[in-house]
C-alpha cells in the first residue's frame, strides 16, 4: 500500500519568552548646553543593536535613544534640544533555543519619565518590555490518495489550509524634499521633530507588495533673524513604494507589519542659498508573511471490504483562515491647563501603547492608553512656554467569531489620527482614531493517517454478521460509518437502497447485505 501525500508549508512559533526591566540614569548637561528651567517635551526609542543566541537563552544588547526639549532662562536662549542614549544588556531565558536558531526580538518602551534634579542634571527613568521568539517553517504531510490492489473504502475530509508562500524581512526607504512656505522664516536650527506614518495600506501584486500612505511631519525650529523666533511647521506628503516579494499574488492574505526605524530631517539651502529646504530620509523595516488558501481533500480513514484494516493515526493541526480584520475606534478627552492662559497651541504629539491583549468570547480584547503631550505659548515673559500631558485609556474588542486562545494572531495597533484643539484659554480637547489589524489563523485539528495494515478477515466475526439487515439511521450516522460496520461499500449501499446522494435522515431505514463470505 502506497500513500500519495501533499506537503502543506506552514509556520509556527516554536519557542518564545518575554521580560520587563527598568532603566534609570542621571544625565549631566554638556557644558555647551544652558541651564534647564522647565522640560516641555521628551520621547524615547528602543534600538536593538545585537541579539546573541546561546543555548537556552538569548542576550540582547541595545540602547534607549532619548530626546528632550527644554526651556532655559539664560539670556539669548529660549528652547534647547538635548539628545543622548542609555545602553542596556538583558538576558532572556528561552528553553529549547540553540545556536542555530534565528531569534526575533520585539521591543516596547512602556513609559519614560524625565525629571529635573537641578539646573544641570536630569533624571531619566524608563520601563522596557522585550519579547523574543523563534519562528519555524515546516511541512505538514497530508495523505490525499492511496494505491492498493485490495478493495478499500476511503473517507475524505475537505480542508482549507493556509499555506505560507512568502516569509521575508525587507527595508523600505522614503526620500522627499520639502520647501518652507514663504511666510515661514529660514531655518537657523532644528529643535524638535515628530515623524509618523499614517493610513498605511498594502496591495498584493504579482511578485510585489505595493505600499502607500502618508508621512506626517511636525518640526519646531529656531528661525533666522535677530530675535531667532521659534516656529512650528507641520506638513504631510504621500508615498508610494513597491517591495519585491517573489511568490506573492493577488487574492492572497498578507500579514504585514512595519516600523519606522530611522528618520532624518536635514536643513538644506535652496537655489538662492537660503536655508529653506528640508531633506527627509526615512528607513522603514518591513516584515511580510503572505498566505494562500488551498483546498485539499485529505484521506482521513480507510476500511476494507474483503480485508480487515488497521489504521494508525496521529493528531496534527493545520492553519486555516479565521479572519483578516481591520478595525477602528475613536477616543476623546479634555485636558485642563494648569499654567495658563494659553495664547497659542504650538505642537502636540502622541502614540499608542497596548498594555494587554486577550481572547474573549467572539474576539480579541485590546486594552491600553494613548499618551498625549501638548506644548503651547503663554502670555508670561518669565515662562513663555507651557506643556501638558495626559493618558487616555481605551479598550476595544476586535470581533473574531470562533476564536480560541490558541488562535490569536499578532495585532498591529496604530495611532491613525490625533487632533488637539483649544476649547478656551484653559482647556484642550483631544480626539484620536485608533486602528487595529490582525490576521488570525486558527489551529484546525486533524487526524493524519501514518500507517495502514491489511489483515485477513476474521471469519468468525463475519460468520456472526447477519446476511441481511434493515438498519435504522441514528443521529451522526453516514453511509461511510454504516458501510464500515458491515464491511459494505458506500456504492453498494446506494444501489441496494436506490440512493442518489449521500444524505441520510434520522429514522430512515436502509437495506444492508453482508459484504463478505457469500
CA dist 129 to 20, 80, 137, 145, Å?
4, 30, 26, 49
Average pLDDT, stretch 264-291? Answer: 94
- H-helix or E-strand spanning residue 497: helix 490-497
What pLDDT does 384 receive? 83
What pLDDT does 77 receive? 67
298 in Cβ contact with 221 (< 8 Å):
no
How many other CB atoms are found less than 10 A from the CB of residue 464? Answer: 8
What pLDDT does 227 receive? 63
Q: How far is 27 from 124, CA to CA, in rounded Å?
A: 7
What pLDDT does 229 receive? 79
What pLDDT does 146 receive? 84
Average pLDDT, stretch 305-312? Answer: 85
Per-residue pLDDT band at 518 (split at 50, 70, 90): very low
370 in Cβ contact with 351 (< 8 Å):
yes
What is this structure's pTM? 0.88
425 in Cβ contact with 341 (< 8 Å):
yes
- H-helix or E-strand spanning residue 3: strand 2-28
3 in Cβ contact with 145 (< 8 Å):
yes
DSSP codes joined into one string, 473-486: P-TT--HHHHHHHH
pLDDT at 304 over 90: no
Average pLDDT, stretch 464-492? Answer: 87
What pLDDT does 515 receive? 57
What pLDDT does 235 receive? 96
Please list the residues that pair with 374 across neighbouring strands.
348, 388
Q: How far is 34 from 123, CA to CA, in rounded Å?
A: 17
- H-helix or E-strand spanning residue 411: strand 411-424
pLDDT at 360 over 60: yes
DSSP letter at 459 equals H
| Distance linking the first and last C-alpha atoms of the chain | 26
Sign of the dihedral through C-alpha 369, 420, 263, 41: negative
pLDDT at 145 over 60: yes
pLDDT at 381 over 70: no
Q: How far is 52 from 91, CA to CA, in rounded Å?
A: 9
71 in Cβ contact with 38 (< 8 Å):
yes
pLDDT at 463 over 80: no
pLDDT at 197 over 90: yes
What pLDDT does 513 receive? 83
pLDDT at 516 over 50: no
Average pLDDT, stretch 116-142? Answer: 94
164 grid coordinates? 505560507
Higher pLDDT, 88 or 153: 88
Least confident range from 44-53, 225-234, 331-340: namely 225-234
Q: How far is 336 from 318, CA to CA, in rounded Å?
A: 53
Instruction: For residue 179, say if its preceding peptide bond is cis, omega within 30 degrees of 0.
Output: no
pLDDT at 238 over 80: yes
Percent of the chain with pLDDT over 70: 97
CA dist 215 to 357, 374, 376, Å?
28, 20, 24
Q: How far is 265 from 278, CA to CA, in rounded Å?
A: 6
How many other CB atoms are found less than 10 A from the CB of residue 109? Answer: 19
Average pLDDT value over all residues in the chain: 90
Per-residue pLDDT band at 76 (split at 50, 70, 90): low
What pLDDT does 225 receive? 75
Q: Which region holds residue 476: left if phi is over 0, alpha if psi is between -120 and 50, else beta?
A: left
Q: How far is 470 from 451, CA to CA, in rounded Å?
A: 34
Q: How far is 309 from 306, CA to CA, in rounded Å?
A: 10
Amino acid at each position: 500500500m502506497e500513500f500519495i501525500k501533499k506537503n502543506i508549508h506552514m509556520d509556527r512559533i516554536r519557542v518564545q519568552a518575554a521580560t520587563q526591566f527598568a532603566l534609570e540614569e542621571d544625565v549631566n548637561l554638556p557644558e555647551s548646553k544652558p541651564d534647564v528651567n522647565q522640560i516641555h517635551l521628551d520621547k524615547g526609542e528602543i534600538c536593538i543593536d545585537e541579539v546573541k543566541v546561546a543555548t537556552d537563552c538569548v542576550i540582547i544588547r541595545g540602547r534607549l535613544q532619548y530626546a528632550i526639549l527644554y526651556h532655559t532662562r539664560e539670556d539669548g536662549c529660549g528652547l534647547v534640544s538635548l539628545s543622548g542614549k542609555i545602553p542596556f544588556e538583558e538576558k532572556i531565558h528561552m528553553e529549547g533555543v540553540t545556536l542555530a536558531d534565528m531569534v526575533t526580538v520585539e521591543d516596547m518602551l512602556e513609559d519614560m519619565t524625565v525629571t529635573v534634579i537641578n539646573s544641570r542634571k536630569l533624571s531619566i527613568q524608563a520601563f522596557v518590555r522585550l519579547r523574543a521568539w523563534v519562528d519555524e517553517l515546516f511541512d505538514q504531510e497530508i495523505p490525499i490518495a492511496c494505491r492498493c490492489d485490495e478493495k478499500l473504502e476511503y473517507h475524505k475530509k475537505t480542508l482549507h489550509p493556509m499555506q505560507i508562500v512568502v516569509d521575508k524581512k525587507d527595508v523600505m526607504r522614503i526620500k522627499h524634499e520639502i520647501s518652507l512656505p514663504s511666510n515661514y522664516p529660514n531655518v537657523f536650527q532644528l529643535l524638535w521633530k515628530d515623524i509618523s506614518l499614517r493610513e498605511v495600506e498594502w496591495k498584493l501584486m504579482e511578485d510585489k507588495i505595493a505600499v502607500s500612505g502618508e508621512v506626517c511631519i511636525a518640526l519646531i525650529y529656531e528661525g533666522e533673524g535677530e530675535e531667532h523666533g521659534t516656529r512650528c511647521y507641520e506638513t504631510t506628503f504621500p508615498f508610494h513604494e513597491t517591495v519585491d516579494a517573489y511568490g506573492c499574488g493577488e487574492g492572497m492574505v498578507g500579514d504585514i507589519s512595519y516600523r519606522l526605524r530611522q528618520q532624518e530631517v536635514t536643513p538644506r539651502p535652496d537655489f538662492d542659498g537660503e536655508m529653506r529646504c528640508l531633506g527627509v530620509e526615512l528607513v522603514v523595516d518591513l516584515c511580510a508573511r503572505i498566505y494562500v488558501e488551498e483546498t485539499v481533500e485529505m484521506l482521513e480513514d480507510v476500511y476494507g471490504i474483503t480485508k480487515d484494516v488497521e489504521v494508525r493515526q496521529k493528531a496534527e493541526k493545520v492553519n486555516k483562515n479565521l479572519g483578516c480584520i481591520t478595525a477602528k475606534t475613536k477616543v476623546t478627552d479634555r485636558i485642563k491647563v494648569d499654567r495658563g492662559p494659553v495664547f497659542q497651541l504650538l505642537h502636540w504629539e502622541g502614540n499608542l501603547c497596548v498594555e494587554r491583549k486577550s481572547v474573549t468570547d467572539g474576539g480579541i480584547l485590546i486594552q491600553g492608553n494613548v499618551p498625549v503631550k501638548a506644548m503651547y505659548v503663554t502670555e508670561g515673559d518669565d515662562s513663555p512656554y507651557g506643556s501638558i500631558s495626559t493618558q487616555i485609556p481605551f479598550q476595544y474588542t476586535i470581533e473574531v467569531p470562533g476564536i480560541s486562545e490558541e488562535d490569536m494572531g499578532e495585532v498591529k495597533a496604530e495611532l491613525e489620527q490625533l487632533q488637539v484643539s483649544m476649547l478656551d484659554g484653559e482647556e484642550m480637547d483631544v480626539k484620536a482614531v485608533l486602528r487595529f489589524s490582525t490576521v488570525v489563523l486558527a489551529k484546525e485539528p486533524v487526524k493524519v493517517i501514518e500507517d495502514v495494515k491489511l489483515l485477513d478477515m476474521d471469519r468468525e466475526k463475519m460468520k456472526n454478521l447477519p446476511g441481511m439487515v434493515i438498519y435504522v439511521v441514528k443521529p451522526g450516522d453516514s453511509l461511510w460509518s454504516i458501510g464500515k460496520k458491515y464491511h459494505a461499500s458506500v456504492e453498494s449501499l446506494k444501489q441496494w437502497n436506490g440512493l442518489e446522494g449521500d444524505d441520510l435522515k434520522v429514522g430512515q431505514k436502509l437495506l444492508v447485505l453482508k459484504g463478505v463470505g457469500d
